[in-house]
Amino acid sequence: MTIETRQAIDPRHARTFDTAQLRAEFLIEQPFVPGEINLVYSHYDRMIVGGAVPSAGDLVLDSARETGTPGFLDRREAVIVNIGETGTVRTGSGPHELNHRDMLYVGLGDGPLTFSGAAARFYILSAPAHRHFDTRLVTIDAAKRVDLGAAATSNDRSIFQFVHPDVMESCQLVAGMTTLHGGSVWNTMPAHVHDRRSEAYLYFDLPEDARVFHMMGEPSETRHLVVKNEQAVLSPPWSIHSGAGTASYTFIWAMAGDNVDYKDVDMVEIGDLQ
């Protein structure tokens, strides 16, 4: 298992970054490594983001020095998403089979985590938790679906809310998935920020020769990251998080912070972006 620590970056400091520095601080270039658990420990709301690919046998996430606790989930909750073929995640309370695009919420203390499935690809999200909620599997069919946008504005998309107050309870993790329909490429535009929460994005189902331009930065000092399939982005509270792709794609969004109010955002008018 590999865990990399990323420090929180002040927006005034981020304004000075070149492309290489932006990518080093905010882009997770290879979360999915065959036969490994590969994680990033972020100082934005202590979120942990990464992947597990049990291609050669079971992988176990039991403890991590970065959490300062004997067990990984002793003071944390987690969300596991399978973006590959069917696999199994065993928690302290038992095994859970995840099909493609299913999400598993794992409550505080329900570790260790064992990942299995030769063709499974597990995306891992975790944040500190203050109370226990039961571990729960939410399938793509059980998620709440919200259709937004239109083909005329190139943002016809479906939002699937999994770990979300309208579906289930959690401490501070909120997670879901957005799919762009054919011919649409824009997500989350008009843009917004939410200074009370940090966020992470994983882009997938993107053709290998396609890219997403992930928009970030302060509204008056925007930047971008060029992201390819199965790469993730850490989104700080002060940053917008919008994007446009050279082809349609799907992304997993997750947030952690002061509340679980999905609509608690500060909108930014398109005319105010610079």
Are the C-beta atoms of residues 244 and 273 closer than 8 Å to each other?
Answer: no
In whole angstroms, how far apart are CA 48 and each of 160, 164, 215, 226?
Answer: 22, 18, 21, 22
Q: What distance in Å separates the CA atoms of residue 216 and residue 57, rounded to the nearest whole number? A: 37
- Flag whether 43 is marked binding: no
Longest dimension (CA), the chain: 53
Q: What distance in Å separates the CA atoms of residue 82 and residue 89, rounded to the nearest whole number? A: 10
- Flag whether 130 is marked binding: no
Q: Is 22 helix (H, G, I), strand (E, B) or coil?
A: helix
Are the C-beta atoms of residues 81 and 121 closer than 8 Å to each other?
Answer: no
Given a cut of 90, whether residue 10 has pLDDT beyond it is yes
Residue 156 pLDDT: 94
- pLDDT tens digit string along 142-156? 999 999 999 999 999
Confidence grade of residue 264 (pLDDT, cut at 50, 70, 90): confident
Query: Which range is least confidently modeled, 1-10, 184-193, 217-226?
Result: 184-193
| Domain locations in the chain as residue ranges | 13-272
CATH architecture of 13-272: Sandwich (2.60)
- Flag whether 85 is marked binding: no
Residue 190 pLDDT: 87
The whole-number average pLDDT for the span 27-44 is 98
- pLDDT tens digit string along 95-133? 999 999 999 999 999 999 999 999 999 999 999 999 999
- Flag whether 181 is marked binding: no
Residue 187 pLDDT: 92
